[in-house]
Amino acid sequence: MAVPMKAGGMKPFKVIYYVILSGLTTGLGACIGACIGGISTQVISICLSFAAGAMLYIVSGELIPESNKLYQGKLSILGNILGFLIGFFAMNIV
């Protein structure tokens, strides 16, 4: 996170500030998640489903189109399909 900001010409103190601010919010979210997750297994499943939906949105909306644009061929599509299949097998769905 710090390297692109520094490469973009941002001052070092500002880079350190943003990195620390990002780390604090991550820690705060982990503490809240630990407190909420201890309530019941249903709450954990709801929270994990929201997280999985957010990750699928990011991958489907940003990463896959960007990889298709950068690598104009069938290898990126095959890699995406292979990744989903490995995920299915890892979760014992298939």
Structural Rg of the chain based on CA atoms: 18
What's the domain range around 29?
1-38
How confident is the model over 20-40, as pLDDT tens digits? Answer: 998 898 889 888 888 877 788
Q: How confident is the model at residue 64 (pLDDT cuts 50, 70, 90)?
A: confident
Please state the rounded mean pLDDT for residues 32-59. 83
Q: Indicate whether 48 and 24 sit together in one domain.
A: no
pLDDT at residue number 16: 92
Q: Indicate whether 56 and 24 sit together in one domain.
A: no
Q: How confident is the model at residue 75 (pLDDT cuts 50, 70, 90)?
A: confident
What is the residue-wise DSSP string for 7-52? HTT--HHHHHHHHHHHHHHHHHHHHHHHHHHTS-HHHHHHHHHHHH
Q: Indicate whether 82 and 48 sit together in one domain.
A: yes
Q: Indicate whether 77 and 51 sit together in one domain.
A: yes
Please state the rounded mean pLDDT for residues 48-74. 80
Q: Indicate whether 20 and 45 sit together in one domain.
A: no
Q: Indicate whether 28 and 55 sit together in one domain.
A: no
Please give the tally of structural domains in the chain.
2
